[in-house]
Amino acid sequence: MPTAQVNGNGAEIFYEDSGAPPGSTDYATIVIVHGLVFHSGTFKRTLPFAAPNNLRIVAINQRDYPGSTLYTASELDRITSSNVEDLELALQAQGQEFATFLVHLINAGGVLPVQEKDGKKSGGLAVLGWSLGNLVPLCMFGNAKHIEEETKSLLNEYLRTLVIFDSPPFPIGEPIPKEFSFPLWDSTIAPEDRGPCFAIWVGTYFSPAVPDLSSMDIQALESRTNISQTSEPDNMAPTTSRMSVEELQSMTHPEVLERSGGPLMELEPAVYWRVTERALFETEGAFASVDAVAIWCNMSVAPCVWAARRIAERAEAAKTEGKRGRKVDTVKIDGANHFPHWDEPERLVRLLADSI
């Protein structure tokens, strides 16, 4: 069970590794950070498709998840603090630990330096956050000034792309519009039922599919229906409802919701906003050669589609205002819900290989 030490107190991160594609001298490595409750096991179906697409895939388990070190009481106090300075320090630690993990991976061998020829990159390291897990790479890029110069210098030789994969509003500092349903906060659902309701809701396919980010407003997004309850020919049931009990147990860790997952989700939006601004739109030249791509799924839950729209709008506004930001592209996965890595892993890996 591979782990990497990520801070001076001995905290460790567990990770799964597809390994390098045999015989390849120009493959890219993608490090994946999972979302809330659903950990790296959610991405295990992607691993067999890494080598055929000239990729190495590494999927980590965040702190407080199986195989990784629990947060200490003092770390949890910071995450749950109402003091903005404490929250900023907590997010700086997220970024620093992730940077330390990447350095471990590089020093262990098997990560190629990024190369560019005729405008095309090869080798190198892409980092991908999925769902709430986007907070981790965003905290690294958005807190670059707090990372040691030696670490930044090394990472600059390897980093190529930041992938923001179907993010909800939380890690980019956007409030959820009050019109959107969100089972974990729904007072009409009994507290003990909110977790199971969330698990089904987040894996639902919503119809109609969103054609482009500008074509649906808040009301239209929320009025979409669960496709499994319609008469449409492709009425796919929610991903999570098709998983066996054993599969769900192999990829979820509900206990984290009360400890750190819920508090990180509910952390003061203004703090996340500032981190995202520094990570994407006003970078001051940090990791300047790294482009970003926001991948969104057009049958996903409304908050995630809305977050992709806000990323695109903020990127355009930054450009108009002349800010020194990162290049940010958006890529749509047509016909996908929040779990294409489970339902269509080969398709997703191909898209990642083309997008980074």
> Do 33 and 137 contact (CB within 8 A), yes or no?
yes
Q: In this structure, are residues 276 and 142 in contact, taking their beta carbons and an 8 Å threshold?
A: yes
Report the domain count for the chain.
1
Tell me whether strands 125-130 and 28-33 are parallel, antiparallel or unpaired.
parallel
User: What pLDDT sits at residue 212?
Assistant: 96
For residue range 4-51, list pLDDT tens digits in order. Answer: 999 999 999 999 999 999 999 999 999 999 999 999 999 999 999 999
Beta pairing partners, 225: 207
Residue range of the domain that includes 95: 3-355
pLDDT at 234 > cutoff 80? no
Percent of the chain with pLDDT over 70: 98
Give the pLDDT band of residue 159 (cuts 50, 70, 90): very high
Q: Report the CATH number at residue 225.
A: 3.40.50.1820
pLDDT of residue 190: 97
- Counting DSSP H helices and E strands in the chain, the numbers are 13, 12
What separation in angstroms does the CA of 181 have from each of 171, 203, 284, 302? Answer: 18, 14, 37, 8
Buried/exposed code over 88-114 (b: 16+ C-beta within 10 A; e: otherwise): bbbbbbbbbbbbbbbbbbbeeeebbeb
Strand 159-165 versus strand 291-297 pairing type: parallel
- Mean of the pLDDT values across residues 119-132? 96
Give the whole-angstrom CA distance, residue 257 versus residue 261. Answer: 4
* 13-27, 58-72, 191-205, 222-236: least confidently modelled range: 222-236
Token pair of 48 as six digits:
């067999």
CB burial of residue 347 (10 Å; 0-12, 13-18, 19+): middle
Mean pLDDT computed over 68-94: 98
The overall average pLDDT reported for the chain is: 96
Of the pLDDT bands very low, low, confident and very high (cuts 50, 70, 90), residue 233 is low
DSSP result, 202-219: HT--EESPPSSTTS--HH
3 state DSSP class of 65: coil
| pLDDT at residue 100, rounded to an integer | 98
pLDDT digits (tens, 9 = 90+) for 277-294: 999 999 989 999 999 999
177 phi/psi in degrees, rounded to 5: -55, 140
Mean pLDDT, rounded, for 151-165: 98
Instruction: Indicate yes or no: pTM above 0.85.
Output: yes
